[in-house]
Amino acid sequence: MYLWIDLWNKKCWIALEIEKIVVPKSIVSRVKLISELKKLIKEYGVTHIIVWLPYDLYNKDKTQLNKTKKFIDKLKNIFPEVFIDSIDESFTSFEADNILSEMWISSNQREKDDLSAALILENYIKNLY
């Protein structure tokens, strides 16, 4: 069972991959993330956690990337029984905008974020199988 995290400064987006289907699970505050992960790992038998890496297109600002990498190290210490991996999330918001525009769908930020997340997960899962 795969669990996905998009780590933001104040909140985090979580999704689960259940039988090769990605299911958005919740958005939780950053301060409640570890307790939510403990609950989800137990409830769903999570074996893998994948954290999205926010690479800067021009490689100028690595602040958020460095925070995310430190968080990944923290996860590895807290959950040594769970495989922790990461994936580059670059360009998925742009791709989601294009898809929504081609479908003539006017979207809000949440819909774009959800589609971006699905695209990242889909690419990761394709590479697994």
Q: In what order do the strands lie in the sheet with 21-29?
A: 21-29, 11-18, 2-7, 48-53, 83-88
Instruction: State what percent of residues in the chain have pLDDT above 70.
Output: 79
Q: Token pair for residue 56?
A: 């800067």
pLDDT for 33:
95
Write the CATH number of the domain with boundaries 2-128: 3.30.420.140
pLDDT-based confidence at 11, cuts 50/70/90?
confident
pLDDT in tens, 49-95: 999 888 766 667 688 889 999 999 999 999 999 999 998 776 666 67
Q: 80 by DSSP, 3-state: which?
A: coil
pLDDT for 72:
96
Q: Are 48 and 86 in contact (CB under 8 A)?
A: no
Q: Where are the domains of the chain?
A: 2-128
Q: Are 95 and 116 in contact (CB under 8 A)?
A: yes
pLDDT for 87:
82
